[in-house]
Amino acid sequence: MNRSTFLIILLSVVIGLASCNSEQQTHPPKTLLVSFDGFGHNYLEKTDTPNFDALVTNGVQAEGLIPVFPSKTFPNHYAIATGLYPENNGFVNNTMYDPKWEEWYRIRDREAVEDGKWYEGEPIWNTLEKQGLKTGTMFWVGSEADIQGMRPTHWKTYDGDMPGKARIDTVMKWMANAGDETVDFATLYYSDVDSKGHRYGTDSDSVKQAIKRADNLMGYLKEQMKEKGLWTNTNIIIVSDHGMVDLSADKLIRLDEIIDMDNTERVNWGPMTGIQPKEGKQEEVYQMLKSAEENYRVYKKEDLPERYHLKNHRRVEDIIMVADLGYTILDEDYQEDFVESLPRATHGYDNNEKAMQAFFIAHGPAFKQGEKVGNFQNIHIYELINHLMGTEPAPNDGSLDSVKVLLK
């Protein structure tokens, strides 16, 4: 080999290494989004949580994460995924009726849950996949449906019985395995804290044990990420969808004692109760509710406060009742069953209530360390993830400026 040939080969190697280093430097770190359903903003104060505490010490924590209204699971998970308020993404409640289609969406109706027509806007996994990145969703609202004719590279049909560690193991395989389907962005979801809160109340031993189990899962996640070389170069965002408030059997609002139920076409029960009056009965129903307004507020759909970002969608009923914190709206048929089975806590109330705020922790190369910031709305997380992944967001209601305080 002559000197000229050697120099050419050497130069090619140097250029190749420089190119590889450049690609490593410009390729964004992976992102993992984790949700613990029903984990209130103050739940870390209820028991020992060494693994969460370590994430807080080495990352950034918000004083609270403000949910969209209603503060329910499906509207908030889909708002986080799309950066859109309910009136702009179609998810106005866990249960909703579409008058155009004359169809119901219920969270336990698998056919509806997996039907992409209910999901408006563009979820984060679609945004990333459209721009050449791979995604994997271990249970997230919307990820089981063919939204825009697309799905994540990897996704799972919801299975509440799947063990927590098994969920982590599967996501770690998606994120760490070499190949064309190695994911850049993934999600994890857990419902344990929420279900124990509903059944036993926010200060119960069962909730405290559920918080500890969540903490143990974070310890296991860290261990597995370190083992697979993901810990130092992955941005982790840990959220919840809403808080929780305790209920009482003496905080009841009997709708059938205020209005004639025969004047209603349908009622969608909850802390936010939607009433669809029969044709010609709207004003009568509204005036009866307004005259008895106590421990709730009542609105015609068009008069809903702008901050609810709810009134501009056909799936919202013509009259909306919003119960005061801790109150339950029901009728005679439901009251006896409610009092006997009395769920100890619930959510769905005004998202301005502190008790409805969720929690937020972020850890990784993009985030500040040992910082605590003020609360912010969860719709901004979509913009945040796009920033972390170096992708262009679809039109949304969020703002990166609202969460820049989290970043280094």
CB atoms near residue 152 (< 10 Å) = 26
Task: Please give the average pLDDT of every successive group of 10 residues along the chain, which has 408 residues.
Answer: 48 45 61 98 98 98 98 98 98 97 96 97 98 97 96 96 98 91 96 97 97 98 97 97 95 97 97 98 98 98 98 98 97 83 91 98 98 98 98 98 97
Residue 54 dihedral angles phi and psi, to the nearest 5°: -65, -40
**What's the token pair of residue 70?**
């209603």
Which H helix or E strand runs over 292? none
d(CA 353, CA 326): 11
Mark whether 202 is an active-site residue: no
**What's the token pair of residue 249?**
């059997």
Residue 254 dihedral angles phi and psi, to the nearest 5°: -90, 105
CB atoms near residue 3 (< 10 Å) = 7
CA nearest to 38, candidates 151, 231, 198: 198
Scored b (16 or more CB within 10 A) or e, 256-265 reads bebbeeeebe
Helix (H, G, I), strand (E, B) or coil at 104: strand
d(CA 206, CA 111): 33
Tell me the CB-side half-sphere exposure of residue 28, using CA atoms within 13 A.
19
**What's the token pair of residue 349?**
């109330």
CA angle, 223 as apex, 217 and 225 as ends, to 5°? 100
Residue 276 dihedral angles phi and psi, to the nearest 5°: -105, 100
Looking at 73, 135, 234, 391, which residue is catalytic? Answer: 73
CA nearest to 239, candidates 197, 193, 203: 193
CA nearest to 38, candidates 206, 207, 165, 160: 207
d(CA 142, CA 158): 11
The DSSP secondary structure of 298-314, one letter per residue, reads EEEGGGS-GGG--SSST
CA nearest to 276, candidates 293, 300, 307: 300
Tell me how far the alpha carbon of residue 214 is from its chain's centroid.
17
Tell me the CB-side half-sphere exposure of residue 89, using CA atoms within 13 A.
31
* Region for residue 119 given its phi and psi (left: phi exceeds 0; alpha: psi -120 to 50; beta: otherwise): beta
Residue 399 dihedral angles phi and psi, to the nearest 5°: -150, 130
Map tokens 């405290």 to a residue: 208
In DSSP terms, 360 is beta-bridged to: 239
**What's this model's pTM, rounded to 2 decimal places?**
0.92
The DSSP secondary structure of 232-287, one letter per residue, reads TTEEEEEE-S---EE--TT-EEEGGGTS-GGGEEEEE-SSEEEEEEPTT-HHHHHH
pLDDT confidence of residue 19: 43
In DSSP terms, 238 is beta-bridged to: 34, 361
Q: Which domains does the chain have, with CATH numbers?
A: 30-245+351-406 (3.40.720.10), 252-342 (3.30.1360.180)
d(CA 68, CA 357): 10
**What's the token pair of residue 315?**
């799936």
d(CA 300, CA 283): 9
CB 283 within 8 A of CB 319: no
